[in-house]
Structure 1
Amino acid sequence: MESLSSSSSSVTSSPNSKQVTDSGERNWVDLPRDSVLSIFRKLDSIDILIRPYNVCTIWREISKDHSLYRTINMPNSADPNTKWELLNLCYRAVDYSFGHIIHINIENFATDALLHHITNSYNLTHHSFEAIGRSCPRLKTFKFNIQAYKYPRVEDDDDAFAIAQTMPGLRHLQLFGNKMTNDGLLAILDGCLHLESLDIRQCFNINFNLVASVGKRFIEQVKYLRLPYDATDDYPFQAAFDYASLAEDPDWFVYQDFLSDDDYEYYEVL
């Protein structure tokens, strides 16, 4: 009768050496936590939630580290067969983030319940803007984009005032869909004197009369300007808006003439 024999690799270690097997293979479970995190950061969000989670208990715990979920990127090609799986994974990612999310992509599978869950876990306010500005005195680019709506009309200049007061070195600012008014915009122009590009598309509380009155200042201070009703074809996220309601807004009928110059592009309101 043929006998079967098996051999097991023993593990040797010393205080000054990493654990390896007799065959020279590294014991990956014993890698330092920081090294494992560095490896995990090279994976996308979905892989982090699935692959390391199923390896061992140690890696499962490390895969829950909030630093891995500052960016949650879960692209979906509108496949209904993957929607519910992505929803489940995204709920977990948001929970693991503990409010440290900086960027999230959940296009084509987001639900109202998921968005509510995200907002409950991380509430970004003008106080957050102030903290960012004070912590990053050399900040050059800042983008804060939300879904815009025109009615009901809600005005809020707190974000704009916080930016104007704490981010004087800004060169590029994008506030897509913000609720700021003329006062907020003027505060930004006064507080951010080095501003080169300004994107205020779908900021529908900005009055065209203001743009006309400070048009020369816009031209002199801001080289690249996007106004509230400009096209959103190059905007990378969902920017759907019911423009039929604009017929109720007299400002919409102000005629705009697009002009270009060798050094900059700007709008002149006639």
Structure 2
Amino acid sequence: MADPPASPSGDGGIREERDVFVPVADISRIVGKIILPNGKVDEEAVRELVSDFSTRRASCESDRCKRAKREAMTADDLLSEMAKQGFQDHIEPLKAWLHKYRLELPCTMEAEPNPLPVSDDVRDWSELPLDVLSAIFMKLGTIEILMGAGLVCRSWLVTAKSPELWRFVDMTRHKLVFSKAENVLCKMAKVAIDRSDGQMESFWAQKFVTSELLNYIASRCNSLKSIRLIGAYYFWDNGNVVIKLAAKCPMLEELEYSDQKQPWSFFTGIGAARPELKRLRVHLPWFDSDSILREMRMEQWSGDDEDEEEEEEEEESDEAWEARHNEEAFAIAESLHELRLLQMAGYGLTNKGVYAILEGCPHLEFLDLRECLHIEVNAELRARCANIRHVRLPGGGPYVRCPELQTIEADGGEVIEMDDLYEMEIRSQRNELAMDNTADNDDYYGENCCWDDYSLPSSPDSPALPMYSMDDPTYYWEL
């Protein structure tokens, strides 16, 4: 047998014969099993042969990786071994395939980890100037700063408490607004208010507003210019808290109280407290109040005894119907003469109410009346709105994009995970099956209930459901 070639690895010696030549004994043993008695080739035996060869070649190269103190074995190492074993015809196609997929094989032998390179120009992010950190934090937003940016190090915490950083507090369109408890979000908002040190100019909140929070703002934010409340479905302003807040903020120019229909008395109160208000947003999804009232009356009548005579409903005149639908518009026209922007999308006013607003608010530049389906868009209405810079009427368009009239939706920022959708689908299937079996299954609520036959599928990769505890609001502002 010829002498084996010198080792190309640079170790200065001749490698053993087993490191260069194909393990003939093992291959002969495996090849003997490849040809079956019926003359067919056993595919499993072929795979075993290839696997044995690859394992031995990879073992040799991993030894070289260890001697060279490399953590990974690259594809080039295996290509060089294949060239030594006589597989030159397969080198180029394999190179093209490896180049396309950027394949790297992990080393099968443990190697000492290489230390990370240390550069002389490594920046210590904790030593950034205060103004630079403040500029970075302003890009994050209120919730992101409270949730983690201020907890990185002491210098970042000092920056996070800078009053200039809290002039604009925006707690909208964030997934945590829909996942955190109301009391936690209110305490986070109070932290932002305290850090502003009376310099807060804008406060935007979504979903979690309470009367106690608004009173807290009124007592500490005399510089407030803009307050926007979106989707606060569980807050009912029975005590006119919003009006009292507007009265205590002499610099207030913008007010939004959307997704709840406000009565005419609300607009009259706002006009009395802050007649110089410049922007008013009270848009809401359209709903037909007349149909709702009619259905309520029908349900009430259906519950009465048959012997009891039903009182005939007095027919409402057209004038009374129009006056009822334009109460809010008339209140705005009489109380808020300095408005520059008005959003009443979804309200039930008519053309008569629009004309009253245009006459009572001569400085209007932005008007949003989308989904006000009682408005008839005709030539007269368009002519009266011609002097307004941006106006949006129901059923019209397309309109030029206007950032001033962009709305924050009540569910803006809500994230529904795919796992939740999957679980909802499973529950839906359970409910359908339960409804189908209700009539035929007498033991529907007993031990043989069909709920026992179905369970949420699970996989080894899916994590266990966590046990949630009450959030600790102090986490967001204490080290």
Q: TM-score, normalised by structure 1?
A: 0.51
Query: 5 Å matches for 1:109-188?
Result: 109-123=208-222, 124=224, 125=246, 127-129=250-252, 143-146=254-257, 149-150=262-263, 154-157=268-271, 161-162=275-276, 174-177=279-282, 181-185=332-336, 187-188=337-338
Instruction: Supply the distance in 2 between the matched residues of 1:82 and 1:210 (Cα, whole angstroms).
Output: 40
**SS where residue 139 of structure 2 aligns?**
coil
Residue among 141, 144, 147 paired with 1:50: 147
Structure 1: how far apart are the matches of 2:198 and 2:364? 34
1:72 to 167, 170, 184: 170
Residues 271 and 332, structure 2, Cα contact 8 Å, conserved in 1: yes
Structure in which a larger fraction of residues adopt helix: 2
CA distance in 2, matches of 1:152, 1:50: 39
TM superposition shift of 1:101: 3.4
CA contact (8 A) 1:223 1:265 kept: no
What's the secondary structure of 2:188's corresponding residue?
A: helix
Give the distance between the partners of 1:183 and 1:151, measured in 2 at CA.
11
What is the distance in 2 between the residues matched to 1:221 and 1:90? 34
Query: Could you tell me how far 1:41 is from its partner in structure 2?
Result: 1.5
Quickly say closer, same or farther: Cα 1:212–1:95, change in 2 above 3 A.
same
Post-superposition CA distance 1:69-88 (Å, at most 9, x none)? 21322524664555554333
Gaps of 5+ in 2: 1-117, 225-245, 283-327, 395-479
Match of 2:126 in 1: 29
Q: Which amino acid aligns with 2:199?
A: H
After the TM superposition, which segments of 4 or more aligned residues of structure 1 sit over 6 Å from their partners? 201-204, 206-210, 220-224, 262-267
Identity, in percent, stands at: 19
Amino acid across the alignment from 1:188 = E
| Residue 199 (str. 1) matches residue 297 (str. 2) | no
Separation (CA, whole Å) in 2 of partners of 1:29 and 1:209? 61
Structure 1: segments with no counterpart, 5+ residues:
1-20, 130-141, 164-172, 190-194, 234-254
Q: Over alpha carbons, which structure has the higher Rg? A: 2
Number of aligned residue pairs: give it.
194
Measured on the aligned residues, the alpha-carbon RMSD in Å equals: 4.7
Distance 1:121 1:25, change over 3 A: same
More strand, by proportion: 1
Paired residues of 1:198 and 1:226 also in contact (CA < 8 A): yes
Partner of 1:92: 191
Aligned residue identity for 1:36:
L
